[in-house]
Structure 1
Amino acid sequence: MNFKVVRVFNRSVTIELESDSIFKQDQTFEVYIDGARKLESERNVVTVSGLLPDTEYEIKVVMAGEESSQKFTTKHESVLLDVTKFGAKGDGETSDTAAIQAAICACPKEGTVYLPAGTYYSTALFLKSDMTLWIDEGATLLGDTDRNHYPLLPGMTLSTDEKSEYNLSSWEGNPLTSYASLITAIDAENLDIIGPGTIDGNAGNSDWWVNAKVKRGAWRPNTIYLCRCKNVNVQNLIVQNSPCWTVHPYYSDDLSFLNLLIYNPSDSPNTDGLDPESCSNVLVLGTVISVGDDCMAIKSGKYYMSLMHHKETDGIFIRNCKFERGHGSVTVGSEAAGGVRNVRVSQCIFDGTDRGLRIKTRRGRGERSVLDDILFENIDMSGVHMPFTVNMFYFCDPDGHSDYVQNQAPAPVDEMTPSIGSITGRNMNCKGVSACVLCAVGLPEMPIGKLTFENVDVSFLPESERIPERPVMMDNFDEMSGRSIYAQNVKNLVLKNMTIAGAADKEPELKNVENTSFTEVNYK
């Protein structure tokens, strides 16, 4: 069984099996370090912790009598700073913010700030470059429940020469003042945040989820917020109970999120799991997400940020992950005015989410809002109500129900018109579908470029178990139940080797679809 070493840290390593299996193997395997058995797992991505810095190790994987090994050397560590030596109590009641922040500020280059077992009650912490934050097994960083204890991050500040702007915070795609997040990093590079402990936003015991869409003091924070960071790795942590979007990389590059468990209650508002916004080269590997909104939402801001601080999201790689519960498994948009390209989602399980692949935009996002080159492949979906939805009439924002956004007559194509290019889904198994297989609605003035679905096997729930739902959030659009393919305002629709079992209809419904290519599309 071959594997690759994905990332090496100062005290841990993450590996990925080189296998076509989805998320996990059909049998267990063992992992050894220098001949000592460290763990047994079925999952394709595993992390071994408990290592020492500056040390060469041999890691070996054994499965069904086959074995493979590699050598690696852990990263250098200059010093280990235990936060309890700085006065942190870890009793879950005393505020440990100052003690932990003191350790962070005192940490030299390539040093580690260490949280041993305990519960560290804290407000926002600010990390810096060239350090590791290590939250050990049995350690929990627990968010302070009083919003007045959190500093504010101004959304936008005019520079002294009045020629540029300094952006520190964001709320749903606009540069608006927000509370600082429990873990905040601004302009940091070469930063590692590692477990296997827990980061708990503690939002359920606060008032973050009460009147969630009302600004009180400032907008709600994330749990982990990375602003203009580079080369950041987050590994082997539980991140839960977030006030808002849980992990939010913003205008950041070269990031990895490995073996995370991101969990928020199903009724928690706007608690997306992982939302890279205006980021490039982001790897999400071996991560399990179960939340109250989209599991992942790939974004690039609203129109002002695209116009004045344009940064396209480019290169999002999601592999061997499991997305449970939530409105969408992997979403692109709707705040994507800067554009999103080169998204690759593979070898993932989508289990019980409302939608699988979810693309959403609207008039007003602008001509730079090009959503293109998006590929989903080798995906198993179970109990996903609507596997594929594409919506260019998404009714978000204060003007979302306006005639400008929702009018289905052609509008002039101008600098405010978004576009969708190529979206491909292949090698997928979708069981327990309820509302529809594919619902795609483009703009009449800017049809969706190309939708391709091949090697897709679909089976619907029995009619008695289906609940009618509206697959796309737009005005004047009916609920669906048991529908197969609905496409409106699409330039090219390609369906190849699709089997659809148990649908209420027996052929696709098409409106203003310019070109079609249907090969071996079978209804049962």
Structure 2
Amino acid sequence: MFAITLAARSARTVALCLAQTGARSALRQSVQWRLRGADGTQRSGETKRAVLALHDLTPDTAYVFEAAAAAPCAFSCAFSTLPCAGLVDVAAFGATPDLPDTADAAQTNRAAFQAALAAVPKGGTLRVPAGRWVCAPLALKSDMVLHLDRGAVLFAPSDRQDWPILPARDAAGRMLGSWEGLPEACFAAPLHAIGACNVTISGQGTLDGGGDRGDWWHWPKETRDGARRPRGLHLIDCQNTQLIGFTIRNAPSWTIHPQGCTGLTAAALRIMAPHDSPNTDGFDPEMCENVDIVGVHFSVGDDCIAIKAGKRGPKGEADHLRPTRHVRVRHCLMERGHGGVVIGSEMSGGVSDVTVEDCDMIGTDRGLRMKSRRGRGGTVARIAMRRVVMDGVLTAFSANAHYFCDVDGHADWVQSRQPAPTNAGTPHLHDITIEDVELRNLSHAVAAFLGLPEAPIGPIRLTRVTVTSFDFDAQAADPIMADHLRPLRHAGVLGEHADVHSDTQIVEHNTLTDPAHRFTEPK
């Protein structure tokens, strides 16, 4: 079976999903393709990508895309690009490429970019041509496209001089600046949008957050000038946003952080950061609804995708919390990073209805990872993973309700395996389905599920999970981040205070905690 569907589109860029049976991030074999436009243009090429971005198209034009999976059989998809109300070039407003990386140059270009932005009509496009454009943090507006031409690099300066800071809350008391799920002042992202609707960022160019320049990565958990580190791209309370085709790299902290957004598509992106860069998660939708992540290539320094829903405050503060619902991850390639798809640990607003399908995870510490702890509250429910291959993963699946985050993460009340009273701070994780997953070069365990005695995890169902090989150089280690565990190597499915059902592995219950720290459960 071979089907072609439209994943995302703008005036000049589209992303097509080539849904070949058995394809994950890549097709089983390369296909020849041809594109014909109603304006008479034609082009052709070859691809092995399951999600293909096509650039430099004509606005408001009908196209037919054809792909030959096996001659003479061909499959086609008809689509039209969106109209463009006007094209504005930043160079026409005095923006200058290839300036030195100085605060003065960045502010000079920022003024030119802002003037160009103001001139973009509703439904129009701001074009960034090829060149290296240093620019101080820039805010996008509603009803516009930011288009990055091939060879365009929009990069943040290394100097924090005059860098804007987002306050923890706006004048109405809504969460604005944030840090790890709480309202907190943070430096504005190099590119950000607040309360914007119908924004698209597209093209073959690059957003460079400058995390490898300056000192951003030298104080990962601290503050400077009263603020936390910025994200690479921060979208706050936005609606109907599309991110198509570009590369984003070297974020000061989380790379793309949608916060409180509804209706977001990220298609055919490349999200990159050095593997030793601190907390450079790839894509962190937080308190968001209706998010589609398709055909994205991740190689980052922390979790590839981290799905979050805010964090309850130290005194139980919860007025900033909202749920995250309906997140779909498809045809993505996740290389290295601490986790492939991670839920939490900031999940106090609740995370539900997440599906991960047809993906590859290579060298990530964990594949599907859920993490919480006492005090967080919230519910994680209806999580599904299907048709995924993991290669070189340490522990494939984990759910941890004793995650030792925050300054009190190792406290007895967090790590105790004795039952505690349930309250608003008790997290609940249930209805987790894992199907048709192949594990290669596995190191520590197929699965490690550690629930709370007062709130066991589950049900968790594993069906057709296959281990094809182990990493025989692996050293025994803790499979999840909690205290009092025993090291594992080449283990199966282990659970403690977890309701686990598996048709492929023997489930070992009450085998995660080191025997020296176990207790006798009350009858």
Quickly name the TM-score band, shorter chain normalised.
Answer: over 0.9
| 1:467 and 2:475 are equivalent in the alignment | yes
The match for 1:111 is 124
2:273 to 264, 270, 276: 264
Q: Deviations over 1:466-511 (max 9, x none)?
A: 1222111111222221221210001x2110145xxxxxxxx54212
The amino acid across from 1:509 in the alignment is E
CA contact (8 A) 1:312 1:339 kept: yes
2:239 corresponds to which of 211, 215, 230? 230
Of 411-420 and 300-309, more deviation after overlay is shown by 300-309
Matches within 5 A, 1:168-317: 168-217=176-225, 218-304=227-313, 307-317=318-328
Distance 1:91 1:175 in 2: 36
Tell me if structure 1 keeps the 8 A contact 2:7–2:267.
Answer: no
Q: Does 1:126 align with 2:125?
A: no
2:511 and 2:395 mapped to 1: Cα distance?
22
How far the C-alpha of 1:273 sits from its partner, in A, is: 0.2
Calculate the aligned-residue CA RMSD, in Å.
1.6
The 1:470/1:131 distance shift into structure 2, 3 A limit, reads same
Q: Which residue of structure 2 lines up, in the alignment, with residue 8 of structure 1?
A: 9
Code of the residue aligned with 1:59 in structure 2: it is: F
Q: How far apart are residue 39 of structure 1 and its match?
A: 2.8
Distance in 1, Cα, partners of 2:186 & 2:44 = 42
Residue pair 1:156, 1:168 contacting (<8 A) in 2 also: yes
Deviation (angstroms), 1:220: 0.3
Deviation at 1:37, TM superposition (A): 3.0
Contact 1:38–1:48 under 8 Å retained in 2: no
1:18: how far off?
Answer: 2.6
In the aligned structure 2, how far is the partner of 1:468 from the partner of 1:240?
33
Letter in 2 for 1:135: L
Q: Which has the higher strand share?
A: 1
**Structure 2 counterpart of 1:86, which letter?**
F
Q: 2 CA distance for matches of 1:156 and 1:391?
A: 31
The correspondence for 2:74, drawn from 67, 78, 90, is 67
Structure 1 residue aligned with 2:517 = none
Indicate the SS of the match to 1:242: coil
Aligned mates of 1:157, 1:194 — CA distance in 2: 29
1:424 aligns with 2:433: yes
Residue of structure 2 equivalent to 1:521 = none
Q: Tell me the CA shift for residue 104 of structure 1.
A: 1.2
SS of the residue 1:303 aligns to: coil
Measured in 1, the distance between the counterparts of 2:322 and 2:480 equals 27
In structure 2, distance between residues paired with 1:77 and 1:351: 39
User: Structure 1 residues 292 and 158, CA, compared in 2 at 3 Å: closer, same or farther?
Assistant: same
* Large movers: runs of 4+ above 3 Å: none
8 Å CA contact 2:174, 2:320 repeated in 1: no
What amino acid does structure 1 have at the position aligned with 2:362?
A: D
Tell me which residue corresponds to 2:163: 150
Tell me if the contact between 1:30 and 1:37 (Cα under 8 Å) persists in the aligned partners: no
Offset of residue 157 of structure 1? 4.2
Provide structure 1 residue ranges, at least 5 long, that are not aligned to the other structure.
160-164, 499-506, 514-524
Q: Counterparts in 2 of 1:403-422, with a 5 A limit?
A: 403-422=412-431
CA distance in 2, matches of 1:213, 1:6: 37
Query: Which residue pairs with 2:353 in the alignment?
Result: 342
Deviation of 1:454 (Å): 0.6
CA distance in 2: counterparts of 1:99 and 1:68, whole angstroms: 45
Once the two structures are superposed, the pairs formed by residues 433-472 of structure 1 within 5 Å of their partners are 433-463=442-472, 465-472=473-480
Kept after mapping to 1: 8 A contact 2:442/2:470: yes
Matched residues in 2 for 1:485 and 1:185: separation? 43
Note the alpha carbon deviations across 1:88-115, whole angstroms, 9 max, x for none.
1111423221111221122110110000
1:324 alignment partner in structure 2: 335
Indicate conservation of the 8 Å contact 2:308/2:343, yes or no: yes
Shift of residue 36 of structure 1? 2.5
State the match for 1:509 in structure 2: 508
Shift of 1:202: 1.6
CA gap of 1:314–1:449, structure 2 versus 1, over 3 A, is same
Deviation of 1:137 (Å): 0.2
d(CA) in 1 for partners of 2:253 and 2:45? 34
Do 1:306 and 1:337's aligned partners in 2 also have CA atoms closer than 8 Å?
no
Once the two structures are superposed, the pairs formed by residues 372-387 of structure 1 within 5 Å of their partners are 372-387=381-396
- More moved, 405-414 vs 85-94: 85-94
The within-5 A match list for 1:458-497 is 458-463=467-472, 465-490=473-498, 492-497=499-504
The offset of 1:414, in angstroms, is 1.0
Relative distance call for 1:38 and 1:206 in structure 2 (3 A) is farther
Task: Provide the rounded CA distance (Å) in 2 between the counterparts of 1:435 and 1:452.
Answer: 20
Match of 1:46 among 13, 38, 52: 52
Structure 1 residue 30 corresponds to structure 2 residue 36 = no
Q: Distance in 1 between matches of 2:171 and 2:14?
A: 43
Which shifted more, 467-476 or 344-353? Answer: 467-476
Q: Deviations over 1:29-59 (max 9, x none)?
A: 1222217333311111101111111212222
Percentage of pairs with the same residue:
38
Aligned 8 A contact 2:69 2:75 in 1: no
Distance 1:82 1:308 in 2: 42
1:439: how far off? Answer: 0.6
| 8 Å CA contact retained: 1:56, 1:73 | yes
**CA offset digits 1:269-315 (Å, max 9, x no partner):** 00000000000000000001011110110000001497213311000
Question: Contact conserved, 2:259 with 2:287, CA < 8 A, in 1?
Answer: yes
Deviation at 1:148, TM superposition (A): 2.5
SS in 1 for 2:178: coil
Q: Is the 8 A contact 2:392 2:471 kept in 1?
A: no
Say whether the 8 Å CA contact 1:434–1:460 is kept in structure 2: no
TM-score by length of 1: 0.92
Farther-moved stretch of structure 1 (416-425 vs 20-29): 20-29
Q: Which moved more, 1:64-73 or 1:481-490?
A: 64-73
In the superposition, relative to structure 1, how do residues 466 and 460 fare at CA in structure 2: closer, same or farther (>3 Å)?
farther
TM-superposed deviation, 1:461: 2.5
The residue aligned with 2:19 is 18
Structure 1 distance, partners of 2:347, 2:338, is: 18
Residues 462, 266 of structure 1: alpha-carbon distance in 2 compared, 3 angstrom cutoff:
closer
